Structure 1
């Protein structure tokens, strides 16, 4: 008996506004042409959240009156028949308890009798000792396809991570964009057995960047911090870092190598830097744009780091204030702004003329590789 079937014995689910919940059902017949066509329009905007009690809430939009079924699996790509059915009805919200908390769960929402539907999971992945861990799945492209869940993850540093909470991701590799000095200071990644650590340092302008001085912030006087970051210098320094990621040969090599790793790997891949927002943010923006994800979605994913890092940043700012430092000067450095990503994309156009030329010439990732990566990471949208 599969792990999913065993988990079903402990499963409870509540379909809000849908009456009785069915937890098992008859065999599913092959879809008719009409059913196959309908799947492209009837279900959309599925969102999954996970509360502190381990309860998943799955919500979505659908055609009025449609009867749907919801299935759970620890593998986002298994067929419907290999998933556990957790609910059915005409509601658009399901609360699911009793799933193994040590696993990562993916949910399929589909019309009754149709073996296709929308797959969804939590965007944020709870990992002990690590922040800003996110799945890049579920984003819709301009062509109406969807990025596959459970294939690519982004995060902040993993030097304090709990391997057991990373294990459910099934990673083949963890790519580390930190510089050797960052790794020496924070420690190497702590990874589950079988996950290959990959050093791909991105440290553009390391010796001359104004941000280098921040590594020894505790030794600076309040006036030195004002001189370094005041009058908008903090944001301008960040924009310069993003431009350097595009112009620095070693940085481009790391980005290109990451794309090649994603293409070659048969299992999921995670990449990260220290906070998971700048170098990781550029890598993610490049990947999502390559896949055809619209600009507004690319920027929304980029800016989400502000929310994911908010609690830790608040503690840092409070500490700085206790030392007499104008902590507001650090806000542009600890967070991200749309102008940072603007700077990177503008530099791409300036240096290469187009994004496609940047991929091919700057990253050494040509059209055939781009097409192959799209085939690997995209699926039809429900």
Structure 2
């Protein structure tokens, strides 16, 4: 079964429900994840509009939203969750690219450290908290996205899977579904030019692939950092993101079939 929803101008759009979870199964057609929608075609907008989305969580920083504003479908009325926290400083990813030596090892080292920080960044805590509050309200389908739909989005999807009772193996499998060879074929050359605009030259094909990819060690770095700081992911969800017993019960009732 494929979870990817093929769109023309929106990358990495897929359903992150329909996993075995907590003795049951997550619903399909309720939870969606994607990259940005700035390049969405009219046909893409029609397809997204048909999903009945009631909440859109935009995990991007303010400058990212300004550079690539989201296109919306006719009659768009979904609640949009975003924020401008921490948007005044330099983007850590862009700062890294300016000094990147094009080696895969350097990139992976940055990514692991980045994932260790992500769960505790104030802007992420705010966005994640409001996302789970929206899920608890059980109004309908939700779309979460960032720029590429792989890192920030991947972490939030993983936290959702954990809360729902999805196995660690399936959680990681969903995260790794970003590594789509067809996606590289579509956008690899363009991403190479994008990277060169910061690094000064086009990286090797292997380095570009590494920049587009995710690795299990990345998402596990986030989980390990959460467990080191709070003892468990459940404790983090409750004490940091406000998912108390009542909210958890409401979310499970909403996302489980």
Q: Tell me the TM-score range normalised by the shorter chain.
A: 0.7 to 0.9
CA distance in 1, matches of 2:244, 2:227: 17
Instruction: Provide closer, same or farther for how the CA distance between residues 125 and 174 of structure 1 changes in structure 2, counting only shifts above 3 A.
Output: same
Deviation at 1:304, TM superposition (A): 0.4
Q: Does structure 2 retain, via aligned residues, the 8 Å contact 1:202–1:251?
A: no
Residues 27-49 of structure 1 show CA distances to partners (whole Å, capped at 9, x for unaligned) of xxxxxxxxxxxxxxxxxxxx3xx
Q: CA deviation at 1:336?
A: 0.5
The alignment covers a number of residue pairs equal to 249
- The 5-angstrom pairing of residues 69-88 of structure 1 reads none
**Which residues of structure 2 form unaligned runs of 5+?**
none
Matches of 1:339 and 1:261, distance apart in 2 = 29
The alignment partner of 1:251 has SS state of helix
**Is 1:377 matched up with 2:251?**
no
**Cα distance between partner residues in 1 of 2:84 and 2:156:** 11
Q: Distance in 2 between matches of 1:361 and 1:296?
A: 25
| Alpha-carbon contact 1:201-1:251 (below 8 Å) kept | no
Q: Identify the residue that residue 292 of structure 1 maps to in structure 2.
A: 165
1:254: Cα distance to partner?
0.8
Counterpart position of 1:127? 7
> Contact 2:184–2:212 at 8 Å: present in 1 too?
no
Contact 2:81/2:130 (<8 A) preserved: no
1:324 CA displacement: 4.8
5 Å matches for 1:313-324?
313-316=187-190, 319=193, 323-324=201-202
Aligned 8 A contact 2:16 2:33 in 1: yes
What secondary structure, in the 3-state scheme, does the structure 1 residue paired with 2:57 have? strand
Alignment CA distance shift 1:289-1:306 (3 Å):
same
User: Which residue of 272, 281, 296 corresponds with 2:145?
Assistant: 272
2:38 to 141, 159, 181: 159
Q: Distance in 2 between matches of 1:157 and 1:300?
A: 22
Distance 1:289 1:363, change over 3 A: same
Deviations 1:204-262 (A, max 9, x none): 79846652236xx6xx6xxx541xx5361211111122122112122112112111112
For 1:198, what is the secondary structure of its paired residue? strand
Query: 3-state DSSP class of the match of 1:169?
Result: coil
CA contact (8 A) 1:176 1:272 kept: yes
Partner of 1:148: 27
Query: What are structure 1's unaligned runs of at least 5 residues?
Result: 1-46, 48-121
Question: 1:376 and 1:299 mapped to 2: Cα distance?
Answer: 22
Normalising by structure 2, what TM-score?
A: 0.86
State the alpha-carbon separation in 2 of the partners of residues 279 and 231 from structure 1.
20
TM-score, structure 1 normalization: 0.59
Give the match for residue 222 of structure 2: 344
- Greater RCO (Cα-Cα under 8 Å, separation 6 or more): 2
Q: CA deviation at 1:332?
A: 3.0
Whole-angstrom distance in 1 between the partners of 2:202 and 2:17: 43
Cα RMSD over matched residues?
2.6
